[in-house]
Chain A
Amino acid sequence: MSAASNHNWFDTESGILDRRIFTDEEIYQEELQKIFGRAWNFMCHESQVPEEGDFFMNWIGEDEVIIVRDREGTINVLLNSCPHRGNTVCRAELGTTKSFVCSYHGWNYDLNGRLIGMPSEEHFYRNPMDKNDWGLTPAAKVESYKGFVFATLDPEAPPLVDYLGWVGRLGIDFMAAQGELEFLDGVHKNRVQCNWKLAVDNVYDWYHVKVSHGSALKIGMIGEESMAPMDQMVLLGEFGHGIGGPGITEEMFQESVARLSGSEGEQIWYDRNVRQRMKPEVTEMLGPVGKRSFGHPNIFPNLWVALTRQVCLRIPRGPYETELWWFNFQPKHVPVEQRQNAIFMQNHLFGPAGILEQDDGENWSHSTRGAKGSFARTRPLNFTMGKGQDQVLHDESGQSRIETVVNEHGQRWTYQSWQEWMNAASWPELMQNHSLPPTGEI
């Protein structure tokens, strides 16, 4: 257990952030324990490991884990570190296997991580050793929500559904609304020399689009109307989850339904999304507010859900480096042409060669660099956009939201929540001390 602290890197009163949080090595080490070591971390989709022995490698902070389906069909998450000398027992990033054999001295493990064999055990280990004590360390808990598998290293973490709350769940419901999903083989991975939080902060950033992605807009890769400043909706969830971005009114939703039901068909950029969401079961699942939100969910700490049926994981690699992993999905039952068009967008918007995303990396890496200079490091960062200008709206649906213009509510909520995680000594303390989503003026 780590100690409670009282850091005030983010001043919630003023919306001013201390930029050392992007470069300080000690803060980073603390994050590995207090954020990644405690959170429910996205591992993979169940369809990535459909059969016994299928495995996929991922990270919880800087700890590498094996996600593997065992004989009973259960998905296990195991630390990829042999308890003999610490060597990795799996060097492939995906595959199918019967067991994991350590390449150093040959200790081998079954699909549950149990130590099942040690070369020459009877000759060399004359001392008694109970193999049951020396398996691969499992994650404290592994749970999934609608096929998305998460793991936590902290036994005190609340159940996944409670952790996600309605906002985190809604992020995944957006994906589930598109039909039963299957994972498409191939995760786009690349490294950006930025702090992971700057990539996360950007999920809610609808201010940068016209500037950063000006060229993509001009060539028509993305539509001006869907990306330009417009009606925005922000949903803030417990523990730091959020959804920020375009949102439409109930009237706009109904007009869209009328268009789609009549002869007009799709006219406005969100009509295509409304088409999926007007189905009664989907409307029911998303709720009266959720169905009107087309924003970007971030599942705290580092999973961005994009409306293109993709999720992007931001894996820390030290304070100055982040790996971006794009997982791509398609509904199982869609016409071939629709599927091909969707794959086209998945391959061409994001990822290192993505026509949209290639312009993001340098902004994040240079923002990180902007916190390295010993003088620059002392200069505050401004997160004040729209602060105090909006109201949180509540109704009987329980889906509280802010309906406004382009803003920085999502970013402020992220840093505020992050700070609460960093100040709490344990899950029980975080449960007690964390802020509930804001009400009233915000």
Chain B
Amino acid sequence: MARVDAEPLAAADGRNLTSSYQKLDMQQRMLLKFEVEEFLFMEADLLDSRRYDEWLECLTDDIHYWMPIRRTTTAREVEREFTKPGGMAFFDDDKSVLALRVKRLAIGRAWAEDPPSRTRRLITNIKILGYDGEEVSVASNFQLYRSRLNSEEDNWIGRREDKLRRADGGFKLSQRHIYLEQTVILSQNMSSLF
């Protein structure tokens, strides 16, 4: 099969590592990875425990939060699998839109989340793609399990490409690109954050 050049898959083979990250020794890489993991796990915890306002504080003001639409294509045309930035997407949010989503939940009559869903995020396969001393590019796989009411279940699995920027002695999230393993979203809504 022809080499696949779709952005999210290309990044997965690690060829995009920036040179400054490659210059780090093993111990420095381990420390960085530990820091990154702590941030990602903490941030997932905030969402799972419905502490949305605190989650918003983990984002930079210029964050880009994006989930393109995915399509089934032939192997020959797999470069058409994802919609392009700036076009149609399930999420294409800046911080103000994310703040609106969060505000909506707190304001009442946000029926998709009232009664609130139960969610659990499993974040795995964390892989640092690059680091320039300021910003870390990191890929991770996720499973977002949601159950609602008595018996409604959703299971979203995918890959995220994040950027974490140094701020206030820790990290803030400045990019989250989400590549879901679904074309038709098999859920009545996506009122959860990924």
Contacts and interface: CB of A to CB of B under 8 A. Distances in A.
B26 interface: no
Nearest to B109: A214
Contact of B190 (A344, A348, A352): A352
A308 B32 CA distance: 46
Task: Name the residue in A185, A192, A219, A363 with the highest tally of chain B Cβ atoms < 10 Å from its Cβ.
Answer: A219
A335 interface: no
Main SS class of interface, A: mixed
A212 B187 contact: no
A215 B108 contact: yes
Contacts of A93: 71-73, 183
A94 B190 contact: no
Contacts of B69: 186-189
Interface stretch (B9-17, B46-54, B82-90, B127-135): B82-90
Interface string B76-109: 0100100110111111110001001101110111
B46 to A, nearest CB: 19
A101 to B, nearest CB: 11
A201 to B, nearest CB: 17
B90 A352 contact: yes
A191 B189 CA distance: 8
Nearest to A210: B109
A215 B107 contact: yes
Task: Name the residue in A95, A211, A213, A363 with the highest tally of chain B Cβ atoms < 10 Å from its Cβ.
Answer: A95
B112 A216 contact: no
Given A93-B73, A187-B69, A358 B109 contact: no
Interface in B100-140: 100-101, 103-105, 107-112
A94 B189 CA distance: 24
Interface string B31-75: 000000000000000000000000000000000000111011110
A184 B186 contact: no
Given A186-B68, A219-B103, A219-B104, A353 B88 contact: no
B45 to A, nearest CB: 22
Interface string B175-191: 00000000111111111
Contacts of A379: none
B111 A353 contact: no
Interface string A68-91: 000000000000000000000001
Interface string A354-377: 010111011101000000000000
A384 interface: no
B111 A348 contact: no
Contact of B104 (A186, A216, A328, A344): A216
A212 B110 CA distance: 8
A94 B72 CA distance: 7
A215 B110 CA distance: 5
A346 to B, nearest CB: 7
Nearest to B82: A186
A185 B84 CA distance: 8
A219 B74 CA distance: 42
Contacts of B83: 185-186
Q: How large is the interface on A (under 10, 10 to 19, 20 to 34, 35 or more residues)?
A: 35 or more
A191 B188 contact: yes
A190 interface: yes
Task: Name the residue in A96, A362, A365 with the highest tally of chain B Cβ atoms < 10 Å from its Cβ.
Answer: A362
A191 B186 contact: yes
Nearest to A94: B71
Interface string A171-192: 0000000000000111111111
A188 B89 CA distance: 8
A221 B100 contact: yes
Nearest to B101: A355
Given A191-B188, A212-B111, A218-B109, A346 B73 contact: no
A190 B73 contact: no
Contacts of A352: 90, 185, 187-190
B107 A219 contact: yes
B186 A359 contact: no
Interface of B: 67-69, 71-74, 77, 80, 83-84, 86-93, 97, 100-101, 103-105, 107-112, 183-191
20 contacts: A92-B72, A92-B77, A96-B77, A185-B83, A185-B87, A186-B68, A186-B88, A187-B69, A188-B88, A188-B90, A190-B184, A190-B187, A213-B109, A214-B109, A219-B107, A352-B185, A353-B67, A353-B191, A355-B100, A363-B111
- Top 4 A-B pairs ranked by shortest CB distance? A214-B109, A186-B88, A361-B188, A190-B185
Given A94-B71, A359-B189, 6 more contacts: A93-B183, A215-B105, A215-B110, A216-B104, A347-B89, A359-B109
